[in-house]
């Protein structure tokens, strides 16, 4: 019997140009259940794999981002990656790119400082970075050009490319809390109204708190109908989700609304997410209007 600890079964290495969308790729892999590490020097990757082995197989899928932020250690990447490709690990290298003009415009719009633009313009920094990492692009298994790609399209592409069979048994569920007075979420497939729940807005001690605050949890849990309502919504989703999947729907966005989107809808989204995570799913939670009612 082989008692050797299991190493990660899948390793995804993300590299590419600054401002191209590597962080979006990183977050999409994290949503798929990958153990993710950002800004890892290449020389440390074998040690990270050993740490995953020491976890007793608990880290089955590993994703790392390595780029020019690693400095001179980026020169070690090619040898490390070559050794990984020769090993038994299922390793894939993703290069995220965009045109120089698009990258420069993104940095100008966000007013962020390009890591190589010190003492020169943004476009010069982009070109300097491209010269440094151009050789990595030739090693890649997948090159993604985001020049004409939205954040949502990039995220969907990564999820479709790297999702395992177990990931695709059910659609990716996103819970969006919102306030009806600010309008419906534009991309919601289902919208549920929880304005029937007790409203902490009228309690001066709770009014300014968010629905994910422990004091709000105590408030809601005092009312049996709150727990019953969350459980019934969860049961409703259990019934619907396989049917959406049968029709080929990979993504399901559920809008949970209250009056202002600060208390009841936030709490219900958090509770539904907790229930699904306990069942091994990886729902995404977005609180669209949680800051709009702040005084």
pTM for the model stands at 0.54
pLDDT at residue 168 greater than cutoff 70: no
Q: Are residues 60 and 15 in the same domain?
A: yes
Kindly state the average pLDDT of the residues 276-284. 84
pLDDT at 193: 96
Region for residue 108 given its phi and psi (left: phi exceeds 0; alpha: psi -120 to 50; beta: otherwise): alpha
Domain that holds residue 186: 170-287
Q: Are residues 147 and 211 in the same domain?
A: no
* Residue 2, domain member (yes or no): no
Last residue of a domain, one of 133, 162, 191: 162
C-alpha Rg value of the chain to the nearest Å: 22
pLDDT band (50, 70, 90) for residue 74:
low
Q: Are residues 112 and 142 in the same domain?
A: yes
Last residue of a domain, one of 128, 162, 196: 162
pLDDT at residue 1 greater than cutoff 50: no
pLDDT band (50, 70, 90) for residue 25:
very high
pLDDT at 257: 95
Q: Which of 144, 190, 174, 141 lies closest to 285, judged by CA?
A: 174
Q: Are residues 76 and 186 in the same domain?
A: no
């Amino acid at each position: 019997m082989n008692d050797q600890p299991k190493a990660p079964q899948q390793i995804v290495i993300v590299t590419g140009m600054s401002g191209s969308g590597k962080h979006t790729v990183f977050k999409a892999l994290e949503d798929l259940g990958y153990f993710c590490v950002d800004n890892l020097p290449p020389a440390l990757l074998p040690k990270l794999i050993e740490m995953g082995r020491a976890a007793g197989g608990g880290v089955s899928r590993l994703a790392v981002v390595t780029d020019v932020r690693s400095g001179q250690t980026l020169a070690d990447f090619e040898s490390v990656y070559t050794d990984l490709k020769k090993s038994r690990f299922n390793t894939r290298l993703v290069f995220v790119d965009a045109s120089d003009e698009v990258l420069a415009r993104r940095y100008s719009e966000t007013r962020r400082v390009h890591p190589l633009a010190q003492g020169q313009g943004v476009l010069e920094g982009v070109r300097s970075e491209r010269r440094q990492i151009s050789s990595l692009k030739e090693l890649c298994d997948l090159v993604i050009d985001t020049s004409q790609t939205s954040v949502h399209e990039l995220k969907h592409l990564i999820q479709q490319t790297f999702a395992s069979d177990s990931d695709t048994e059910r659609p990716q569920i996103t819970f969006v809390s919102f306030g009806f007075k600010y309008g419906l979420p534009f991309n919601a497939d289902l919208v549920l109204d929880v304005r029937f729940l007790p409203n902490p807005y009228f309690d001066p001690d709770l009014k300014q708190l968010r629905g994910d605050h422990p004091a709000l949890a105590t408030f809601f849990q005092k009312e049996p109908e709150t727990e019953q309502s969350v459980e019934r919504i969860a049961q409703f989703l259990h019934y619907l989700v396989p049917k959406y999947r049968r029709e080929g729907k990979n993504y399901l966005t559920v809008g949970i609304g209250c009056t202002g989107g600060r208390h009841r809808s936030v709490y219900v989204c958090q509770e539904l997410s907790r229930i699904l995570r306990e069942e091994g799913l990886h729902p995404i939670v977005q609180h669209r209007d949680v800051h709009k009612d702040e005084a």
